[in-house]
Amino acid sequence: MHTKTLKELAQGLRAREFSSRELVRHFLDRIARYNPALNAFITVTEEAALQAAAAADAKLAKGESEPLTGVPLAHKDIFCTLGIRTSCGSKMLDNFIAPYDATVVEKCKRAGMPLLGKLNMDEFAMGSSNETSFYGPVRNPWDLACVPGGSSGGSAAAVAAGLTPAATGTDTGGSIRQPAALCGITGLKPTYGRVSRWGMVAFASSLDQGGPMARSAEDCALLLQVMAGFDEKDSTSVDAPVPDYAAALDQDLAGLRIGLPKEFFADLDAAMAQALEAAIAEYRRLGVEFVEVSLPNIQLSVPAYYVIAPCECSSNLARYDGVRYGYRCQNPKDLNDLYLRTRAEGFGAEVKRRILIGTYALSAGYYDAYYLKAQKIRALIALDFKRAFETVDVLLGPTTPTPAFRLGEKLGDPIAMYLSDIFTIAVNLAGLPAMSVPAGFIDGKPVGMQLIGNYFDEARLLNLAHRYQQVTDWHKRFPEGFA
Ligand code: GLN
């Protein structure tokens, strides 16, 4: 059952091949068996999952079900869950039980999807390897000595190893696409504003966006359908109709124009380039036309991001002061001691590094030199994409520079770690939608192809990815040892 797609599971439930309770039991058993090796789950919600499954079975029996009723999923531990711990991968929120559900969580509940548990992640979603988590690193199911990517590393590893049929993730600079690529699954970062951020713990509010992570593009379409839509509780949520994503999957690709940003291919690793060449050849056979385009300011995206994201995080994380909720230090001498020790003890090294960079860059005298400058660069990067989309429908490139790296390999070198998002970050600065799709293997480790779309063009990305997955089987491979 764990190699089936969401669509197959939904069909099986409807055909009474198995019940939702049996399905949930199956995944809970797999979590019990394999999670100790992977560390993908921070919290497993066994009882609640079985109860929700029983309720879904009742709905299915009455014929009142929605498309994914009875199909379980797991949420990245950044989405607030009523009555269930939401840690955000941090000691600061280790004791935090949210008094409400995030909009995404509520929508999945309403769709009848039982929640298996909460997934491990980099602390406050800051990282590219899942090694900054207070709960320890997650391991890559394709090679346990390697990282799964981050920050949604738990989501990617859990889907890849068949511990959940699908998961949610969030992407501020690549955190859905990069781990999806490194674990050989499909992930979609929607247009900024497509999916509500309400109840999603804020890292960098102008960049954060939640999205689906699953085995196939078709599954991402089904889950995005549940997650997307206007939410009056999120002032940056966009009030635009949500198309029928599944209906667009099979559209003909003939005549479509895909741009290849030359900057993405300039110094690309040879094996990675070869994998992409093969994908491009598949698309050509499907009638797609390719043209070279340029994104001249793209090399400024990592430096601009590492000013903007820390600035926003330093402001967002000011709320963790030991007074309202979350961690509080023992026996504070006075208020200042309470603030200082709570934050010194509650945050990990990477989060502190970002807060320091952010407060520095926002301080009087430096604001213009750093923050304002970075915002101007951000506008230039968005303009690069705008120009490219005047001549092409979609952009194609790698998701990451290399396949999964070893645990510890980049921990001592933050800059090297930051550069693993070199192909994903610009998309967040521009607010565009993008996907990572499994496109081959290098030395037994998966690699991802990135498809970048124009604003609100998720349906076209899903269409392109789906057609590719009909003529390739990379997304169907399963890591040995988790069968
Ligand atoms: N790796 C990037 C960072 O550390 C992006 C993280 C994310 O998308 N949440 O900020």
pLDDT higher than threshold 90 for residue 483? no
Our answer to whether residue 237 is catalytic in this structure is no
Tell which one of 121, 124, 126, 182 to mutate to probe ligand 1, the residue whose CB is within 8 A of the most ligand atoms: 126
pLDDT tens track for 132-159: 999 999 999 999 999 999 999 999 999 9
155 within ligand 1 shell (Cβ under 6 A): no
Q: What angle do CA 118, 164, 196 make, to 5 degrees?
A: 55
- Looking at residue 416, its pLDDT comes to 86
- Looking at residue 420, its pLDDT comes to 87
- Residue 476 CB neighbour total at 10 angstroms: 13
Our answer to whether residue 76 is catalytic in this structure is yes
Exactly one of 20, 90, 133, 151 is catalytic; name it.
Answer: 151
The CATH number of domain 6-247+466-476 is 3.90.1300.10: yes
The whole-angstrom separation of Cα 5 and Cα 157 is 16
- Using DSSP's 3-state secondary structure scheme, residue 80 falls into coil
Look at residues 3, 402, 442 and name the one whose alpha carbon lies nearest to residue 178: 402
Q: What angle do CA 179, 184, 187 make, to 5 degrees?
A: 55
Our answer to whether residue 262 is catalytic in this structure is no
Closest C-alpha residue for ligand 1 atom 10: 126
ω into residue 87 within 30 of 0, thus cis?
no
pLDDT tens track for 213-271: 999 999 999 999 999 999 999 999 999 999 999 999 999 999 999 999 999 999 899 99
- Residue 21 CB neighbour total at 10 angstroms: 18
User: How buried is 435 (Cβ within 10 angstroms: 0-12 exposed, 13-18 middle, 19+ buried)?
Assistant: buried
201 within ligand 1 shell (Cβ under 6 A): no
Instruction: List strand residue ranges (DSSP E) for 320-431, in order.
Output: 394-398
Mark residue 432 as left, alpha or beta (left: phi above 0; alpha: psi -120 to 50; beta: remaining): beta
Instruction: List strand residue ranges (DSSP E) for 235-379, in order.
Output: 257-261, 289-293
pLDDT tens track for 392-416: 999 999 999 999 999 999 998 988 8
153 within ligand 1 shell (Cβ under 6 A): no
pLDDT tens track for 52-95: 999 999 999 999 889 999 999 999 999 999 999 999 999 999 99
Who has greater pLDDT, 418 or 129?
129
Residues 6+ apart with CB under 8 A from 74: 41, 115, 116, 117, 118, 119, 155, 158, 163, 164, 167, 168
pLDDT higher than threshold 90 for residue 39? yes
Annotated domain spans of the chain: 6-247+466-476
- How do 434-442 and 73-76 pair as beta strands? unpaired
- Looking at residue 203, its pLDDT comes to 98
pLDDT tens track for 321-369: 999 999 999 999 999 999 999 999 999 999 999 999 999 999 988 989 9
Instruction: Supply the pTM of this predicted model.
Output: 0.98
202 within ligand 1 shell (Cβ under 6 A): no
